[in-house]
Amino acid sequence: MANTKEQEMHTKSASPTGTHLKLRFVNDMIDKDQLEPAPIRPAWILEGNPEAKGKQLAGHKFGWGDATHWSCTAGKFQWQYGWDESVMFLEGEVTITDENGNVYVGTPGTFLFFPAGTTAVWEVPTYIRKLAFNQKPVPWYLHYQSRIIERLKGAMPGGLR
């Protein structure tokens, strides 16, 4: 990542062996001048010539999630969500219509969540800029395993943490 300062910190884990773990913190600026072209798929564009730009700020090393700074100029387009996406709008305005016809207005400070597998139509009158936090949906079998582990922890004398 350009202009990103990665800071590594060594700390003792909570394990009885006291082994050292390497943790990485990412420190980046939200600078719209650093955004790079991130074209919207042509088949998704419904009106106008929206120009999208983006920059990945952080990402999970196994590809389970990321944080992205994104902007788009005027236009109307359909967006298909392959990941769960939480957004916080920073600048501009957008009108978003979901598959059921519900309308949402995004302005600075507005938070919206888009579940994976859904589609929405975005209408950007002039410009919109957002932070997006994306996560791949967790498969059902991992949810199931996680619930079993939590129940087993709770069944242990004194609980496990």
**38 assigned to some structural domain:** yes
Q: What is the pLDDT of residues 58-89, one digit of tens each?
A: 877 666 788 999 999 999 999 999 999 999 99
Q: Which of 123, 146, 131 is nearest to 73 (CA)?
A: 123
**104 assigned to some structural domain:** yes
Q: What is the pLDDT of residues 122-157, one digit of tens each?
A: 999 999 999 999 988 777 676 667 777 777 777 677
**25 assigned to some structural domain:** no
Check residue 2 and give its pLDDT: 43
Q: Are 92 and 129 in contact (CB under 8 A)?
A: yes
CATH number for 49: 2.60.120.10
**Lowest mean per-residue pLDDT among 1-10, 38-47, 107-116:** 1-10
**74 assigned to some structural domain:** yes
Task: Please give the tally of structural domains in the chain.
Answer: 1
Helix (H, G, I), strand (E, B) or coil at 150: helix
CA 90 to CA 67: how far, in whole Å?
14
Residue 12 confidence class, pLDDT cut points 50, 70, 90 = very low
**22 assigned to some structural domain:** no
Is residue 159 left, alpha or beta, with left meaning phi > 0 and alpha meaning psi from -120 to 50? left
**21 assigned to some structural domain:** no
- Tokens 């979901």 sit on residue: 98
Q: Which domain holds residue 102?
A: 34-155
Tell me the pTM.
0.71
Helices (H) and strands (E) in the chain, counts: 1, 11
**2 assigned to some structural domain:** no
Both tokens of 160, joined, read 């496990």
In sign, the C-alpha dihedral spanning 8, 5, 136, 113 is positive
- CB-count burial class (<10 Å; 0-12, 13-18, 19+) for 136: middle
**93 assigned to some structural domain:** yes
